Structure 1
């Protein structure tokens, strides 16, 4: 599964580095239409995670993940022959929906496979994903250097083929038995036989009616802003408000990739338990505050000083990303009831998708427009919200029922009375 994720992210890295230029130079789209394409894709991506979670409670995750890979194979293949904008729009939107759904399904699959070791698995997955993005960017750079329409189409084809290879690898991966994973609204098939009389059909809880979990998801949106700060805020701030050389922009990605690959396992090992993950939220807020302070200080300084400060900010935002990747995933799993975990994790995945849509607009339209004061306000806001998120998460953890003891003589399987699973 990890190698399949590596191939998936390699193709995604190729697409991320070449898609805008493909739309511009090969298809001849103007900036307005490209913006509309990307906006529609971002909106469609928001629906990908909850849709995946909903389906994962009813169908095997492996089959759904293969379907997502093949869906993107088909849409990207169609992009090679489609030139009409009204057809491109739904194709790009469906591609992004499949991308977000695939990420949610990979998360669900990993949670089932890894169990209590999900933090370590998540660290390995993120390391392989970052390596894939780096490889994909390198492949895209080679194709972009050629610059011909045929080279651009070859990059799109390479991305599509990466999904085919990933689907083949997933097909060879065994899916674990999904005990305790019942979709919201599914009936308890064994309910009427449990007590010698008809007890009726029970319904697993729905994340859409769980205010506490929805509060967690809502607060998790600003906890993902490190992504936009690294990808949008740092480069644009460097270009628009500092004297630092533009060649530093690729260095931000290099720093991020290297630190994630080197440190993700260590950070995950330190914050792998639910309460440790909750504690990581406060550290995340303070780290983002320090990053934003450095960005505010970089304006108006000399080229050398600005370069040093911005590189330090890139290191801090990467540290925040390491903390967030652990805390968000672990808490999303731990705060969800076992009997409806698939649908709950699907809703939790919306936080990243919403941030990817709204985060760049927040940074470019509000934070950077306000100048250094905007960065200070953003950092302070994230620090405060991270403290609120931590308090809310700890309160919910305290309210969760204590797991039932294992059945005597059956050390490999917990009692299933709570979830109704037989």
Structure 2
């Protein structure tokens, strides 16, 4: 049935509330992932690392499967399913006592994590359209960053005050957070379906045959690689290449988190009159400038001046990330036919999974052999991506390019 105004409002509130609770629980766990699993299960770090890697590989299959389920049923049902899977997994972590059990439980978490992104993006697209969709995506990014950051702070307190028991508490609290998130969605009213979602559906062959959309996916891959700079490239570059103290990384992460949480809505307001393609391209230009700033930091004198260069580069990077996030999500959702939005967004969200696989090895190799080459490579990829999205403005649906 079409989405009524009251159903939209209930759905938006329930989604944002549940997602915030989910992010708060995840913030307790994600910063301590391997250590958390090691402490809760008692398994060695080597076994934990291997198990999580195997589980992550299994989780990659969740994206395309989630796309099919979203189109077959509805985004909210799949979103609830991702919460239930992860609630069961975290509730089971304290009783894991072997490698096989670890893989099963960790795989449930990985599948839930990977399926969450196309499901949540699809659900936002059902609840809102036009400029309202951009606003809801911005609210989602803001709420998630605030809750995730708060969860990270609470995790340190839980472990320091409760010791080993604190890790078990984190597992239980995280499981409860997913139960609360799913309950919020279930109680928000009957499931909603966008007008036109009951239309004819195709398979992934149709998605892959949509050349403008696949070009957009290719451009998005460059942007997602740029988002890996802070968590993957910066620790290696700042400490081993530039000789900066490791403590500066915490400052840079905190700065990025605060600005993303506080800046998403103001940036979205500045972009609302522009084409989403052009906003995305401008964000790419800012990210290129960030790559140049990181490269230039190596030319600065060691000490406070070089650290200042790192801070400036991270500020530029954060602005680029803010300019990319909302137009990217809204553009992809608008370009997808409503009846196949699940499959389209599943392919689009795979770019993040690919970046998570490619970045650690690729960035490390370039930083070890020739650090400037990393920044030059990212700059070239981002330039190509920015040009691509500008050219796509005439080939993508008008309602996707411009928020009415």
Both structures adopt the same fold (TM-score exceeding 0.5):
yes
Q: Which residue of structure 1 lines up, in the alignment, with residue 395 of structure 2?
A: 396
* 1:166-212 CA-partner distances (Å, limit 9, x unpaired): 111111223433212248746xxxxxxxxxxxxxxxx9983133233
Instruction: Kindly indicate whether residue 243 of structure 2 is the aligned counterpart of residue 243 of structure 1.
Output: yes
| TM-score (normalizing by structure 2) | 0.87
More helix by share: 2
Deviation at 1:357, TM superposition (A): 2.0
Which residues of 2 match residues 9-408 of structure 1 at below 5 A? Answer: 9-116=23-130, 117-146=132-161, 148-174=163-189, 175-182=191-198, 185=201, 206-272=206-272, 276-299=275-298, 301-366=301-366, 368-397=367-396, 400=397
Deviations 1:278-311 (A, max 9, x none): 1123222222222222222223631201211111
Conserved in 1, the CA contact under 8 Å of 2:43 and 2:98?
Answer: no
Distance 1:173 1:267 in 2: 30
- Structure 2 unaligned segments of length 5 or more: list them: 1-14
Which has the higher Rg, Structure 1 or Structure 2?
1
* Number of equivalences: 383
Looking at structure 2, the residues matched to 342 and 145 of structure 1 have their Cα atoms a distance apart, in angstroms, of 42
Mapped to 1, the partners of 2:280 and 2:154 lie a distance apart of 36
**Cα deviation, residue 42, structure 1:** 3.4
| RMSD of aligned residue pairs (Cα, Å) | 2.5
Question: Could you say what secondary structure the match of 1:69 adopts?
Answer: helix
C-alpha separation in 2, matches of 1:364 and 1:183: 46
Where has structure 1 moved over 6 Å in runs of 4 or more?
none
Shift of 1:25: 4.2
